[in-house]
């Protein structure tokens, strides 16, 4: 039986806002849909020997990022090869920034992995609710970042900001092919399961499998997330 492997990048360093839980969301929904799935921790170069189907990269404190970047640079060729092979990437906050072309730090500009287009540039600290209109409907989450992403085609943005700041250009995130980058914490896939379903459908399809979000546990989880999004949207006065 095919097992879907959900890789979690440096989970101890990149889980400041619970973003590593995006992997648990994917594993749970895959299993509820009758597929075999497991989460694998990617802590060292040796852990990259086997390609995952999805790579989850969360956010972390700036002081923890150099060690993560060292790891990424060591396995950069493998990681870029994964993207070329269609591995799904879910990158949130600093995890997204590390995978862009470059990102600013207090000591200067650091070269990123170049998996995502654009540059992470320093701005004002932004903290609060973030609501985004996307092709999958209204997305909600919490943003907490000091960098924004510049220099990419905003037609590939995840969506239009309805409340909050996002990337500061009226848009938030990046979504193209197998790449998803965002400042939405929550974790984003738990609060917005339509994103998780799209990832799992593509992943299952690459293995010749079918992903169907019809199990009662999936429906119950979806209803909980829908109700939470509605409460947040109403509280913020966002028209849905």
CATH of the domain at 148: 3.40.50.880
- Known binding-site residues for substrate equal 125
Query: Band of the pLDDT at 240, cuts 50, 70, 90?
Result: low
The owner of tokens 């170049």 is 114
The number of distinct structural domains making up the chain is: 1
Bind-site residues:
125
pTM, to two decimals: 0.96
* Burial class of residue 201, CB neighbours in 10 A (0-12, 13-18, 19+): middle
CA distance 167 to 117: 14
Please name the residues in contact with 41: beta carbons below 8 A apart, sequence gap of 6 or more: 7, 8, 11, 47
- pLDDT at position 210 is 97
Catalytic residues: 185
Q: How far is CA 169 from CA 49, 148, 151, 154, in A?
A: 39, 9, 11, 9
- Domain of residue 112: give its range: 3-236
At 79, the pLDDT band (50, 70, 90 cuts) reads very high
User: How far apart are the C-alpha atoms of 41 and 158, rounded to whole Å?
Assistant: 27
> What does the pLDDT average to over 163-182?
95
């Amino acid at each position: 039986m095919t097992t879907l492997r959900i890789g979690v990048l440096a989970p101890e360093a990149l889980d400041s806002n619970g973003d590593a839980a995006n992997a648990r969301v994917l594993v749970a929904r895959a299993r509820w849909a009758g597929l075999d799935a497991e989460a694998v921790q990617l802590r060292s170069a040796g852990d990259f020997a086997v390609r995952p189907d999805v790579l989850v990269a969360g956010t972390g404190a700036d002081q923890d990022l150099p060690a993560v970047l060292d790891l990424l640079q060591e396995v950069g060729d493998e990681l870029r090869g994964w993207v070329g092979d269609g591995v799904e990437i879910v990158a949130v906050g600093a995890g997204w920034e590390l995978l862009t072309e470059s990102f600013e730090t207090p000591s200067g500009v650091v070269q990123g992995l170049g998996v995502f287009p654009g540059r992470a540039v320093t701005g004002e600290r932004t903290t609060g609710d973030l609501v985004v209109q996307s092709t999958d409907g209204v997305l909600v989450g919490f943003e907490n970042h000091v960098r924004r992403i510049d220099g990419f085609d905003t037609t590939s943005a995840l969506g239009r900001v309805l409340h909050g700041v996002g990337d500061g250009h009226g848009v938030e995130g990046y979504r193209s092919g197998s790449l998803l980058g965002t400042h939405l914490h929550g974790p984003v896939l738990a609060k917005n399961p339509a994103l998780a379903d799209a990832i799992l459908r593509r992943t299952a399809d690459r293995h010749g499998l079918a992903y169907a979000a019809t199990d009662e546990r999936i429906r119950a989880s979806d209803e909980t997330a829908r109700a939470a999004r509605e409460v947040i949207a109403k509280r913020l006065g966002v028209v849905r």
